[in-house]
């Protein structure tokens, strides 16, 4: 290839004027150390990129090829070439054929770069489609040079009755083109039908006794003419991607770009794609691009988020309302969805089954189909087996999973929408009662304490209300409340003021469990409801001012992580034997014990969860990091730098399904070893956490980390922790100290 050269006169002029050669990369500072790997930029002037598009027809699926055209424009190749089957063809009606060509012309006309045609069997299938091709595009096979690369576009429809094959004339033409351009750096051939496969299969097929051997022109003659030169071949027709190697050269059969495809998917070569080709000095480099993986900058935007929110807004109003004084259960919920998008909205609304819910919905499944700018009404009938006079029996309410999409994108995937209860039974009044009672003021903020707590019962309903407030004190504790019980009666809109004296005279270690106030109320029509309100003690007073320290000792021998707590490291008193209930007025029904140890490779943690009913352990989750909160499980929290920021969580269910997170990002999967086991009256768990996993190192003596331990016992719905946090979720600022010794 002839390259532009700098003449002597031009060179002299540059030297005289002192102009330096242009450098595309100009860093701000030149130094020995730089924040980049090297300066060998991929900007060879002989390299170029182009895209190959595959079959549009043969089971054409509308819209896909047009979508591919838009996405190719995003890629900005220098040109586009195809492997045929762009038109439906197979027709003898000129009007239909003209429309077919006009429709495709409107689509391909959107490309911002040249498009090169290759003929396929759908494009030329009879004399009429043959005439149309020649009338619109001229010749059926051709070649061109681009940056000293030879492109040859073949016609594979020259067999009998327009079936697969090449004519002697085309073979002679191909040989002539190859002879005319012996010194090109590469030769690329484009064809529709992979004729080399057809000829290879025919050669290997057993022949019948009187069958004549085919002696006509064959594609193998073009293959023979290619010997000795660098070349690559591209075909289509099969709609399934596959790479072949012939005589050390790559032959590619492309998948589809809108034609028929198979549900087997990309792993088996079935997909809608384009092939991105970079022609380098050493030959072509290929990248198959799945159309679903090419997006513009509007993949997701603020406007899309807002419009999706507007679409889902009616679900926020899915509320069952109980009219005041009418004690029946309304069972029909209605709503209307509006489509504010520019294309049809489709999807499903599916109400989910909940084993512990008293509610059922009908219908369970709704199909969504809303034209652009239109609306669709939905109605559901709900039945509830709960007791209206027992509000707790009405929970949990049902929820549905919503999936929505339009022609351009998926909008919502498994969005949960829950039916709400409002204004019944005495819903709004009930909430007002608890607010007016001032239950959030039932707390102490200093230890030891001797303080007064005041509540204000208020009757917001239209009938007289009787109530009793009873303090429940832990047996043998240092807590005392006077009076221990208070009774009252309230007319409509009447308020009472009741005060209690609360004292605690014991040490911090005996603080738990705390007292709780049982509030019970009854209306004249028989409706009653109650609530237990524990005395709130700020966890900061327990932990921030009185940080608990746990000594982590060097392992006395090897630790075999097998779920059996028989290693020497565990044959001592547990490091932790005082788990607290996350509801501070309750006591754990069964104990949990924890040991820790470490060596140069790992931090070790062992749990023994005492369990009197092993047969009822909840072990339903099957996937890592998914659903474990509904099972019996344990986990521990490590604040590796003791800064409330560098934290990790590791856990396992009683069935051995692991969970882990870093900064509560569940997508993080760390490398660690764990195992669970069973004892006669307990289940066990062991962990080995490599120091590399937690971005740490074998700690020196005296090094500190933050630590917390957690157990979930599903049978009794107990959540227990150490240190005793008043929250179910572990909090970095409230953890204990793990000190290495």
DSSP string, 51-118: EEE-B--SS--TTHHHHHHHHHHHH--S-EEE-S--S------HHHHHHHHHHHHHHHTT-SS-EE--
Q: Give the model's pLDDT for residue 327.
A: 44
Other CB atoms within 10 A of residue 175 CB: 15
DSSP percent split of the chain into helix, strand, coil, nearest 5: 20, 35, 45
What is the C-alpha to C-alpha distance for residues 203 and 207, in angstroms, rounded to an integer?
9
Averaged pLDDT for residues 708-720: 89
Q: What is the mean pLDDT of residues 487-513?
A: 85
Write the pLDDT tens digit of every residue in 189-199.
Answer: 999 999 999 89
Other C-beta atoms lying within 10 Å of the C-beta of residue 637: 24
> In 579-662, which residue ranges form alpha helices assigned H by DSSP?
none
User: With pLDDT > 70 as the criterion, what percentage of the chain qualifies?
Assistant: 85
pLDDT at 727: 52
The per-residue pLDDT for range 554-578, each reduced to its tens digit, is 998 899 999 999 999 999 999 998 8
- Confidence band, pLDDT 50/70/90 cuts, at residue 16: very low
Average pLDDT on 30-46 reads: 89
Distance, in Å, from the CA atom of 650 to the CA atom of 670, rounded to the nearest integer, reads 9
Report the alpha-carbon distance of residue 100 to residue 338 in Å, rounded. Answer: 36
pLDDT, tens only, 375-401: 999 999 988 877 655 566 677 888 999
Cα(480)–Cα(472) distance, rounded to whole angstroms?
Answer: 10
| pLDDT, tens only, 252-270 | 999 999 999 988 889 899 9
- Residue 514 DSSP symbol: P
Q: What is the pLDDT of residue 642?
A: 74
Nearest alpha carbon to residue 73 among 44, 47, 107, 96: 107
Give the burial class of 632: count Cβ atoms within 10 A of its Cβ; 0-12 exposed, 13-18 middle, 19 or more buried.
buried
Pure H helices in 280-336: 302-312
Dig out the tokens for 163 from the structure.
Answer: 């079936």
Average pLDDT over residues 34-61: 93
| Chain-centroid distance, C-alpha 119 | 42
Characterize the bridge pairing of strands 485-490 and 465-472.
antiparallel
- The SS3 call for residue 467 is strand
pLDDT over 60 at 11, yes or no: no
Q: What is the largest CA-CA distance in the chain?
A: 113
On whether the CB atoms of residues 231 and 184 are closer than 8 A, the answer is: no
Give every strand in the sheet of 359-362, ordered side by side. 332-338, 375-384, 359-362
Q: State yes or no: pLDDT of 69 exceeds 90.
A: yes
- pTM: predicted TM-score of the whole model, two decimal places: 0.55
Alpha carbons 33 and 494: distance in angstroms, whole number: 79
pLDDT, tens digit, 9 for 90 and up, residues 523-537: 776 667 777 888 776
DSSP for 502-520, please give it. EEE-S-GGG-PSPPEEEEE
Is a pLDDT exceeding 90 seen at residue 729?
no
Spatial separation of the C-alpha atoms in residues 311 and 319, rounded to whole Å: 18
- Mean pLDDT rounded to a whole number for the chain: 85
Q: Which helix (H) or strand (E) holds 428?
A: helix 427-437
pLDDT band at 542 (very low <50, low <70, confident <90, very high): low
* Closest listed residue to residue 404, CA positions, set 415, 419, 394: 415
Do 345 and 339 meet the contact criterion of CB atoms below 8 Å apart? yes
Confidence of residue 495 (pLDDT cuts 50, 70, 90): confident
How does DSSP assign 184-250, residue by residue? -SEEEEE-SS-HHHHHHHHHHSPPPTTPPPP-S--THHHHHHTTTS-EEEEEEEEES-EEEEETTEE
| DSSP run (H or E) holding 169 | helix 168-180
Separation of first and last alpha carbons in the chain:
74
Write down the pLDDT at residue 598.
95
Residue 217 to residue 195: CA distance in whole angstroms: 12
CA dihedral 623, 626, 628, 630 (to 10 degrees): -120
Query: Is the preceding peptide bond at 300 cis, omega within 30 degrees of 0?
Result: no
**Ramachandran class of 269: left when φ > 0, alpha when ψ lies in -120 to 50, beta otherwise:** left
pLDDT at residue 298, as a whole number = 81
How many H helices and E strands in the chain? 10, 41
* CA nearest to 689, candidates 651, 655, 729, 722: 651
Question: Is pLDDT larger for residue 700 or for residue 443?
Answer: 700
Q: Tell me how far apart the alpha carbons of residues 276 and 291 are, in angstroms, rounded to a whole number.
A: 12
Q: What is the pLDDT of residue 329?
A: 56
Q: Is the pLDDT of residue 320 over 90?
A: no
What pLDDT sits at residue 456? 83
């Amino acid at each position: 290839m002839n390259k532009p050269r700098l003449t002597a006169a031009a060179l002299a002029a540059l030297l005289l004027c002192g102009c330096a050669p242009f450098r595309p990369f100009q860093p701000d500072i030149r130094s020995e150390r730089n924040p980049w790997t090297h300066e060998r930029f991929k900007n060879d002037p002989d390299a170029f990129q182009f895209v190959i598009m595959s079959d549009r027809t043969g089971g054409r699926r509308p819209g896909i090829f047009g979508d591919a055209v838009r996405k190719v424009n995003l890629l900005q190749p220098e040109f586009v070439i195809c492997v045929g089957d762009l038109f439906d063809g197979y027709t003898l009606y000129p009007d239909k054929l003209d429309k077919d060509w006009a429709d495709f012309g409107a689509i391909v006309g959107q490309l911002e770069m040249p498009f090169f045609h290759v003929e396929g069997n759908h494009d030329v299938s009879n004399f009429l489609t043959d005439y149309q091709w020649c009338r619109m595009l001229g010749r059926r096979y051709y070649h061109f040079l681009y940056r000293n690369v030879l492109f040859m576009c073949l016609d594979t429809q020259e067999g009998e009755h327009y079936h697969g094959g090449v004519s002697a004339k085309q073979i002679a033409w191909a040989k002539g083109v190859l002879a005319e351009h012996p010194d090109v750096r590469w030769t690329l051939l484009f064809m529709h039908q992979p004729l080399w496969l057809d000829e290879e299969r025919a050669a290997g097929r057993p022949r019948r006794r009187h069958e004549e051997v085919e002696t006509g022109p064959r594609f193998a003659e073009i293959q023979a003419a290619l010997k000795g030169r660098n070349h690559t071949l591209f075909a289509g027709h099969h709609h399934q991607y596959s790479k072949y190697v012939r005589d050390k050269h790559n032959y590619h059969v492309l998948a589809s770009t809108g034609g028929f495809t198979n549900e087997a998917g990309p792993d088996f070569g079935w997909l809608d794609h384009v092939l991105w080709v970079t022609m380098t000095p050493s030959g072509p480099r290929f990248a198959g691009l799945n159309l679903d993986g090419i997006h513009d900058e509007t993949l997701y935007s603020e406007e899309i988020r807002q419009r999706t929110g507007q679409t889902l807004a009616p679900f926020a109003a899915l509320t069952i309302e109980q009219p005041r004084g009418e004690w029946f259960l309304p069972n029909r919920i209605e709503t209307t969805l509006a489509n504010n998008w520019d294309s049809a909205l489709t999807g499903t609304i599916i109400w989910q089954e909940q084993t512990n819910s008293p509610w059922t919905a009908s219908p369970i499944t709704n199909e969504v189909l809303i034209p652009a700018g239109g609306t669709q009404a939905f109605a559901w009938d709900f039945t509830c087996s709960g007791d209206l006079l027992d509000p707790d029996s009405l929970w949990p309410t049902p929820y549905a999973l919503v999936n929505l999409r339009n022609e351009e994108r998926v909008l919502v995937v498994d969005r949960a929408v829950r039916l709400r209860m409002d204004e019944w039974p005495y819903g709004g009044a009930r909430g007002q009662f608890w607010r007016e009672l001032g239950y959030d003021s039932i707390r102490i903020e200093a230890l030891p304490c001797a303080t007064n707590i005041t509540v204000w019962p208020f009757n917001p309903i239209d009938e007289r209300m009787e109530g009793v407030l009873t303090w429940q004190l832990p047996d043998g504790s240092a807590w005392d409340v006077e009076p221990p019980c208070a009774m009252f009666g309230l007319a409509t809109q009447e308020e009472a003021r009741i005060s209690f004296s609360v004292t605690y005279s014991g040490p911090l270690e005996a603080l738990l469990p705390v007292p709780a106030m049982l509030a019970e109320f009854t209306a004249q029509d028989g409706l009653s409801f109650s609530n237990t309100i524990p005395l709130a003690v700020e966890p900061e007073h327990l932990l921030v001012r009185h940080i608990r320290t746990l000594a982590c000792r060097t392992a006395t021998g090897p630790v075999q992580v097998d779920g059996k707590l028989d290693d020497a490291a565990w044959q001592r008193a547990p490091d932790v034997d005082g788990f607290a209930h996350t509801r501070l007025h309750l006591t754990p029904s069964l104990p949990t014990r924890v040991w820790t140890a470490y060596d140069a490779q790992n931090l070790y943690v062992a749990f023994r969860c005492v369990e009197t009913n092993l047969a009822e352990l909840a072990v339903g989750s099957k996937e890592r990091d998914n659903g474990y909160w509904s099972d019996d499980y344990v986990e521990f929290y490590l604040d590796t730098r003791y800064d409330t920021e560098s934290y990790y969580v590791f856990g396992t269910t009683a069935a051995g399904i692991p969970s882990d997170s870093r900064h509560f990002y569940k997508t993080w999967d760390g490398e660690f070893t764990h195992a669970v086991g069973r004892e006669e009256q307990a289940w066990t768990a062991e962990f080995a956490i490599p120091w590399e996993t937690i971005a740490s190192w074998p700690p020196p003596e005296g090094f500190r980390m933050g630590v917390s331990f957690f157990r979930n016992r599903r049978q009794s719905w107990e959540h227990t922790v150490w240190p005793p946090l008043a929250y179910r979720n572990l909090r970095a600022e409230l953890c204990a100290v793990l000190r290495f010794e």
